[in-house]
Amino acid sequence: MSCCFYFRYNFVFVDEKILSKLWKIATKKNFSSQLFLEVQWGQPLNLTKIFPDKETFFLELGSGWGEVAIQLAIQKPKTGFILLEKKPDRLKETFRKIQKRNLTNIRFLNANFNWFLEEFFEPNSFHEILLNFPDPWPKNKHHKHRTFNEEFPKKLFYLLKSGGLFYFASDHGGYARSVIRNLRRNSKFFEKISYSFQRENFPISHYEQKKLNEKKCIYYVEAQKSIL
Ligand SMILES: C[S@@+](CC[C@H](N)C(=O)[O-])C[C@H]1O[C@@H](n2cnc3c(N)ncnc32)[C@H](O)[C@@H]1O
């Protein structure tokens, strides 16, 4: 049966069976742990239920081996962290590190965020969202696979709270400049759009360290969701 869904901000006809298949693949559980979140179609996660004692909420997209979120979680015990990562081996390593440090303010979702993202959470959920060194897809014909595409600012706008912050980093100049251009095009929704070649007082990720060792120039972009 074919249904009309409000999918990715457009009304499109998607076969219900295909949508349900995509959802299953995107959210397929690859391993179990008490830190694992499960999300059902049509039942977005409510962060105040997940972290009843936390004051702010932070989302990391593509958390890799988890080193950034873990250091931030140690520094900010009153913040609840959600890590979204598709590779189970990286999540297993993150889980091992979290257990070693007895951290209680991190949960993760083993999911593909290019297929679904807004569907996982309630609107205006996060105070901060980090997209640190996403896969750059450098070839022109592969740009369509980039996470930060034309539609991405709408997803950020949906997920961030009013005044919430978005952080992006990449050593790929073309990708970073397209992110800045795209945010500026959306200046009605984002303000204080800035970039720098240094980022102070922020943990250094695995990939970032690799690029710093190669003496690569890194773009650090920041934007704030307009205060409504
Ligand atoms: C280049 S690595 C960067 C990892 C980490 N942020 C860092 O700075 O070291 C990109 C990460 O994003 C994850 N990733 C890429 N696309 C994803 C997607 N669509 N859904 C979930 N995770 C994704 C990859 O598995 C990988 O761990």
Q: How many Å apart are CA 193 and CA 214, to the nearest integer? A: 27
Q: How many Å apart are CA 48 and CA 123, to the nearest integer? A: 13
1 alpha carbon – ligand 1 mean position (Å): 34
Confidence of residue 26 (pLDDT cuts 50, 70, 90): confident
In this structure, is residue 166 part of a structural domain? yes
Confidence of residue 6 (pLDDT cuts 50, 70, 90): very low
Q: How many Å apart are CA 225 and CA 29, to the nearest integer? A: 32
Please state the separation of Cα 11 from the chain's center in Å.
24
Name the closest-CA residue to atom 11, ligand 1: 62
Q: Which atom of ligand 1 is nearest to the CA of 134?
A: 10
74 alpha carbon – ligand 1 mean position (Å): 22
In this structure, is residue 13 part of a structural domain? no
Q: How many Å apart are CA 140 and CA 70, to the nearest integer? A: 34
In this structure, is residue 17 part of a structural domain? no
Percentage of the chain with pLDDT > 90? Answer: 79
Domain that holds residue 149: 31-225
Q: Which atom of ligand 1 is nearest to the CA of 169?
A: 8
pLDDT higher than threshold 60 for residue 207 = yes
For the segment 90-96, the average pLDDT, to the nearest whole number, is 93
Residue 81 sits in a domain whose CATH number is 3.40.50.150
pLDDT higher than threshold 60 for residue 13 = no
63 alpha carbon – ligand 1 mean position (Å): 6
Query: Which of these ranges, 40-44, 122-126, 128-132, 222-226, has the smallest mean pLDDT?
Result: 40-44
In this structure, is residue 12 part of a structural domain? no
Number of domains within the chain: 1
In this structure, is residue 14 part of a structural domain? no
Average model confidence (pLDDT) across the chain: 91
For ligand 1, residues with CB inside 6 Å are: 62-64, 84-87, 90, 112-114, 132-135, 205-208
